[in-house]
Structure 1
Amino acid sequence: MPTEVKVPTLGESVTEATIGELLKKVGDTVKIDEPIASLETDKVAVEAPSPVAGTITEFRVAVGDTVEVGAIIAVVGESGAAATAAASEAPAAAPAPAPAPAQAKAESIDAAQTLSPAVRRAVLEHGVDPSTIKGTGKDGRLTKEDVIAAAEAKKTDVATPASAPAPAAAPLATGERREERVKMTRMRQTIAKRLKSAQDTAALLTTFNDVDMSAVMEARDKYKDLFAKKHDVRLGFMGFFAKAACLALKDVPAVNAYIEGDEIIYHDYVDISVAVSAPNGLVVPVVRDCQAKGFAQIEKDIADFGKRAKDGTLTMEDMKGGTFTISNGGVFGSLMSTPIINPPQSAVLGLHRIEDRPVVRNGEIVIRPMMYIALSYDHRLIDGREAVTALKIIKEAIEDPTRMLIDL
């Protein structure tokens, strides 16, 4: 008996989503709880699983469609002996023309893994064999980037035979100009609205400082192997900055507060939103109760968020709340920036790349690994003195990590 696959509950206050990708096609068999479609919400991507095992007989949506919770995505029919018997009673179809070689390659591994429409298109365009490519997507699925990379590698590996005449140079394209119009994903639309709303609502201002990273880098070099062996996680910089932020937010509570109507909400805890990159944009999962956690647990939480952001398995619950944000543009090479706050939060700390620069120490010019740090804040709530003080506390804690151990 046919079973309808519906849009699942998406989270508190989330009522609709966009069809980001169809993971199966009509005629494919599915197992119980196997995902058949990827849905994009305002914050995360979620998957719609099949409630039964069977064969997909119909899709009632297409990529890009906006669907509400409970809407029908697809219909799954029976499989197994009953389906086989039904197929045997159907009239024989005329023989279909043989597929093109590239198409045959794309279809040859459908039993092993499902290719998304974008990946199938890339396979056909580049003429590569998908069964020879190792997927980097969730559960080993192929991505469009995997196909393109394999195609480029194939071009590099194929050498021109010595006896073959040199091919004539291809004529240079002159005056060719192309444009591509792509609809914004729901997540990107939400990011755009929230950032613009923050600029329109808050009185944004940014204060800067620079930090000598020598002490933290020495501590990491000295203890990174022991730390990884004991805690099974890498000792990164984010743990240091998270604990330094806890000191600053304790001493300057306005930086850890919200404005709600005509009231200020102060928090006696520190939930840090950590900006990480996901396939569809920047997301900010929350490391909760940082003031009570050690370096190891903070680093484990951040590493887990980074992995799940890449896999697209972050949940709405992971994103809820947050009293302060840390955004590390340095991993992409940023020297300096003015980050935008994440409403309803009132401040965000921006980290940047570390580079050797000449500085004066004890009257002498020396080379030190320096980082610019920036604190953007809502001037409606946080005065300049408070913002500068908070950033100075973070700077001092990073330059002398002992302060984080004795709560200075």
Structure 2
Amino acid sequence: MSTEVKVPTLGESVSEATIGEWLKKPGEAVALDEPIASLETDKVAIEVGAPVAGVMGQYVVNVGDNVAVGAVIATIEDGAPSAGAEPVAERKETAVAPASDSAASPAAPTPAPTPVAAAVASDAAALSPAVRRAVLEHGIDPATIKGSGKDGRITKDDVVAAAEAKSAAPAPAAPVAAAPAAPAGERGEERVKMTRLRQTIARRLKDAQDTAALLTTFNDCDMSAVMSAREKFKDSFEKKHGVKLGFMSFFAKAACLALKDIPAVNAQIQGDEIVYFPYVDLSVAVSAPNGLVVPVVRNVDQMGFAEIEKAIGALGKKAKDGTLTMADMQGGTFTISNGGIFGGLMSTPIINPPQSAVLGLHRIEDRPVVRDGQIVIRPMMYLALSYDHRLIDGREAVTALKTIKEAIEDPTRLLIDL
């Protein structure tokens, strides 16, 4: 008895996925709810668990195939696993002979032996073991050799002499090759089909460029105060809250302060309407094995530093483990993307539609700046705010970024809501 494995519900507005990888081979034992396949959707990878315990049966679809919700992708069989389970790819390559009226044909034709091997097999009784070995090694047809031994038997020396004569003779013209072999050192190419996630990323980024009136405003930020506060309180913070104090919580709180003052930066265009949100659902761009993803921290404007750090850390771990859900990805009113962790000095980030703005963070480096008429060295970071100019005016974008800068340079502002 077999049980069908079907594509589970993938989330709101997601109707199909792509078979990314089979995690179990036919014939292998499968436990209840054990992952047997990985599906790639537009946003995340989802594992399909076994509906029953048993033995992995046949694949109904192949890796790379698109499947709809509810479609059958494999079967689970009752019984114990086979000792030598054959992968489905090998079974598919086995030739199936057509049925015959006289007798059943073999499942796959036996490959024909080479002429030399056939000749050796036919003359096995007449050839000594040493001669048979020499014939096979030199590739000489024994029928073409005149034996010098007793009763005209072929000797090993006869085989060697025939091989030398063959090598001395001019080689026949080589047939025209169907495709010339690539010369040594030739540069090669590799073609890999884009994953569904990468296709979605490409489409959404291009749509953002084609739809929104994108513009980026820049500023630089002195990180001295935040770095000093972090260094002073990092040990006690981690001891109390069980999480490290990073820079993202400072920027998240600073962004909330700016979005409260400039509501348009936290708004969206939907049709011919502008939707303003009284809350901040912060999308945080993180790197996952299959590409960049932006899970959402809900109601970040109501969180403290420790809550923000824990939430971002948990989402980052899920992204690396490939366990993000559709719920983790949906929504978001504003995005922070930290290219500084990869060493980026400056960039023009692209908004995450339908959002209207994204804050780009970059690496911190010591630079000479003027303070009170003196040139001093300070840890500086470039900030970039890309925004949809259809909704956000330049004055609003510059003001929002300036508010973020001032809050980072003087974190006391975060405490007194200034």
Q: Is TM > 0.5 for Structure 1 vs Structure 2? A: yes
Specify the SS of the correspondent of 1:277.
strand
SS at match of 1:369: strand
The separation in 1 between residues aligned to 2:21 and 2:202, in whole angstroms, is 22
2:412 is the counterpart of 1:402: yes
Alpha-carbon distance in 1 for matches of 2:295, 2:203: 18
Matched, 1:338 2:385: no
Aligned residues of 1:53 and 1:79 also touching (Cα < 8 A): no
Alignment coverage as a number of residue pairs: 321
Contact 1:55 1:78 survives alignment (8 Å): yes
Match of 1:178 in 2: 188
Corresponding residue SS for 1:52: coil
- State how far apart, in whole Å, the 2-side matches of 1:334 and 1:63 are: 36
- Alignment check: 8 A CA contact 1:256 1:347 kept: yes
Mapping of residues 244-283 of structure 1, within 5 Å: 244-283=254-293
Partner Cα distance (1:218, 1:346) in 2: 33
Aligned partner of 2:363 among 340, 348, 353: 353
Alignment of 1:4-403 (within 5 A): 4-80=4-80, 175-403=185-413
What is the CA-CA distance between 1:30 and the residue it aligns to?
0.5
Post-superposition offset of 1:234:
0.9
Q: Is contact 1:356–1:369 with CA below 8 Å preserved after alignment?
A: yes
Measured in 2, the distance between the counterparts of 1:8 and 1:29 equals 21
Cα distance in structure 1, aligned partners of 2:7 and 2:57? 17
Counterpart Cα distance in 2 of 1:19 and 1:27: 20
Aligned residue type for 2:190: E
**1-structure distance, mates of 2:206, 2:349:** 12
SS in 1 for 2:220: strand
The answer as to whether partners of 1:346 and 1:378 remain within 8 angstroms in 2 is yes
- Cα deviations by residue, 1:46-83 (Å, 9 ceiling, x for unpaired): 00100111001211121111111111111111125xx7
Rounded to whole Å, the distance in 1 between the matches of 2:50 and 2:300 is 38
Question: What letter matches 2:388 in structure 1?
Answer: D
SS in 2 for 1:356: strand
> Equivalent residue for 1:131?
none
CA apart distance, 1:190 = 0.4
Deviations along 1:266-318, one digit per CA (max 9) or x if unpaired, are 01101110000111111101111111100000000000000000000000001
Superposed CA deviations along residues 369-399 of structure 1, whole A, max 9, x for unmatched, are 0000000000000000000000000000000
Instruction: Find the counterpart in structure 2 of residue 142 from structure 1.
Output: none
Q: How far does the alpha carbon of each residue in 1:58-115 deviate from its partner, in whole angstroms, 9 at most, with x for none? A: 11121111111111111111125xx78xx9xxxxx9xx9xxxxxxxxxxxxxxxxxxx
| Partner deviation per Cα, 1:117-158 (whole Å, 9 max, x = no partner) | xxxxxxxxxxxxxxxxxxxxxxxxxxxxxxxxxxxxxxxxxx
CA contact (8 A) 1:195 1:342 kept: yes
Partner amino acid, structure 2, of 1:244: A
Tell me, yes or no, if the aligned pair for 1:356 and 1:368 is still in contact at 8 Å. Answer: yes
Secondary structure at 2:401 match in 1: helix
CA distance in 1 between partners of 2:291 and 2:371 (Å):
41
Cα distance in 1 between the residues matched to 2:223 and 2:209: 31
2: CA distance, partners of 1:40 / 1:320: 16
Residues 336 and 352, structure 1, Cα contact 8 Å, conserved in 2: yes
* Partner SS state of residue 370, structure 1: strand
Q: d(CA) in 2 for partners of 1:378 and 1:267?
A: 16
User: 1: CA distance between counterparts of 2:57 and 2:15?
Assistant: 26
Secondary structure at the aligned position of 1:275 is classed as strand
Between Structure 1 and Structure 2, whose CA radius of gyration is higher?
2
Equivalent residue letter for 1:366: V
Q: Which amino acid aligns with 2:11?
A: G
Secondary structure of residue in 2 paired with 1:14: coil
Match of 1:165 in 2: none
- Tell me the distance in 1 between the aligned counterparts of 2:186 and 2:374: 57
Q: Distance in 2 between matches of 1:330 and 1:228?
A: 23
Look up the equivalent residue of 2:259 and give its one-letter code.
Answer: L
Q: Which amino acid aligns with 2:321?
A: D
Cα deviation, residue 265, structure 1: 0.4
Q: Residues 5-64 of structure 1: CA distance to partner in whole angstroms, max 9, x if unpaired?
A: 111110011010011111010111010000000000000000010011100121112111
Question: Can you list the C-alpha shifts for 1:318-343, whole angstroms capped at 9, x where unaligned?
Answer: 11110000000000000000000001
How far off its partner does 1:175 sit? 3.9
Aligned-pair distance for 1:174? Answer: 5.5
**Alignment-mate amino acid for residue 44 of structure 1:** V
2:245 is paired with a residue of what secondary structure?
coil
